[in-house]
Structure 1
């Protein structure tokens, strides 16, 4: 994709083909018409976008990216459809709606980057990094924040996470159009939301995860998130103030890979295991088979 492709392309491929459909499978509540078909078909719909990542910038790569962008638009349209059904703007629901819309921002950036078009005047490297940002911070982190804000566990910290992660993601995007200080403000809000997600994840690990594998996944996702967001804050502060800070390539190799694999993948795997456990616990117990009838002697 760019000089950053050694780190960016495999990460975005995982985001397109696995993170998005896995996250969609965890969304609770009413589902608009076509939701299940879109979720099941997502790996096939995302395949052109994933292929475009591995090709040189060209008309073919742009066309494949455009196919993926259309799929992300179809997903974004699920947000107003879901809002019509839920009629709710609770913090957890706002986080889920943000997750549904975010891949469409990534899809647009991908088309422009594959076409070598500096959309809104942005350099191609920045467009390339927008693609993973809105798959992992925009989609995965917002979705996880929404999952942590489920009604039984909803509290001030959960509401803070569910609002701060979407707000921070959007503020970082707005900062692209304003200046480095605005982007730093977005990074601060996003880091605060991610810190809340990290604390809530550790709390969930302590309270809900009984098996060692789920506990390990939750623990890794929380601790990695704390480190990667500290790096993000360092980079944004350096960009705004001119102080020494990591390069984009170094950030892609640390912050990017950590957020994608250490946080998003581990967190979604853990929540899928927790959901399976809840579903099994809620399933009605099978009725015992009737005892064979014993004939009494005459």
Structure 2
């Protein structure tokens, strides 16, 4: 399971996030600077826990703080807060949560009392349910769909501290938002070229199953209902969201932008 989680996180760091940054209004003249931080972060994943991996993970954390600075600059330039902008700022802030969890996990430090497995999954979660989901909400949705994804992500994060019922509520809100985003992706696929349409349909379609799995996982920790073991959740919910939703969605938006 560890290898699969690290592969998913590497995909997020090195492909999904930098591609996504080119689609945002906060971009600088070039997003190549991101790799100066992301490559050390990805390397840290594959090294044994210890001083070297801690330093490399910390470099990545610094890079994610740059994204927060870009979000702050954008806000003070525009001084408005629409539902789409909430999604935009969520996309730029959530990688820092992932990076902080990575530094703690590489340090063998149980941050806020969470064990190392939970921290490792948090790194993956906030690259995709955080950055990628909020990115797609910003690019493809508006109104309720745009704001429900950041809201659901925030409630899930609170659930880590307040308990399983809160996490379940967050999963329901996030699922609602993701399905609305998926529907918008399907509608968007009707007015573009064939390859882009396929990418959009895949990105929107996988959410039907993957988010049901997320709700079943959260519900199973509140009431006595069946849910997949953790290893199977990573292999199904995790991989499908990373590749099917995140990667295909970003590639589709890049193709639309190039057209």
Verify: 1:8 aligned to 2:5, yes or no.
yes
In structure 2, which of residues 140, 144, 148 is the aligned counterpart of residue 148 of structure 1?
140
Verify: 1:241 aligned to 2:223, yes or no.
yes
Residue 160 of structure 1 is matched in structure 2 by: 144
Displacement of 1:137: 1.1
In structure 2, which of residues 126, 130, 141 is the aligned counterpart of residue 138 of structure 1?
130
In structure 2, which of residues 137, 151, 155 is the aligned counterpart of residue 171 of structure 1?
155
Residues 266-285 of structure 1 aligned to structure 2 (within 5 Å): 266-277=248-259
Verify: 1:36 aligned to 2:29, yes or no.
yes
Tell me the distance in 1 between the aligned counterparts of 2:47 and 2:222.
34
Verify: 1:199 aligned to 2:183, yes or no.
yes
Q: Give deviations 1:230-252, integer Å, cap 9, x for gaps.
A: 11011010011132211111111
Q: Give deviations 1:249-290, integer Å, cap 9, x for gaps.
A: 11111000000000000000001111111xxxxxxxxxxxxx
Tell me the distance in 2 between the aligned counterparts of 1:242 and 1:255.
21
Scaled by the length of structure 1, the TM-score of the pair is: 0.85
Displacement of 1:16: 0.3
Tell me the distance in 2 between the aligned counterparts of 1:88 and 1:196.
24
Verify: 1:215 aligned to 2:197, yes or no.
yes
**2:149–2:173: 8 Å Cα contact kept in structure 1?**
yes
* Gaps in structure 1 of 5+ consecutive residues: 150-157, 278-298
Displacement of 1:44: 2.5
Scaled by the length of structure 2, the TM-score of the pair is: 0.97
Larger Rg: 1
Displacement of 1:205: 0.6
Tell me the distance in 2 between the aligned counterparts of 1:92 and 1:170.
16
Displacement of 1:9: 0.6
Q: Structure 1 pair 102/36, CA: closer, same or farther in 2 (3 Å)?
A: farther
Please give the secondary structure, in 1, of the residue aligned with 2:234. helix
Verify: 1:21 aligned to 2:18, yes or no.
yes
* Gaps in structure 2 of 5+ consecutive residues: none
Residue 226 of structure 1 is matched in structure 2 by: 208
- Equivalenced residues, count: 259
Displacement of 1:113: 0.4
Residues 286-297 of structure 1 aligned to structure 2 (within 5 Å): none
Please give the secondary structure, in 2, of the residue aligned with 1:117. coil
Residue 181 of structure 1 is matched in structure 2 by: 165
**2:155–2:170: 8 Å Cα contact kept in structure 1?**
yes
In structure 1, which of residues 250, 257, 261 is the aligned counterpart of residue 243 of structure 2?
261
Residue 84 of structure 2 is matched in structure 1 by: 92
Residue 251 of structure 1 is matched in structure 2 by: 233
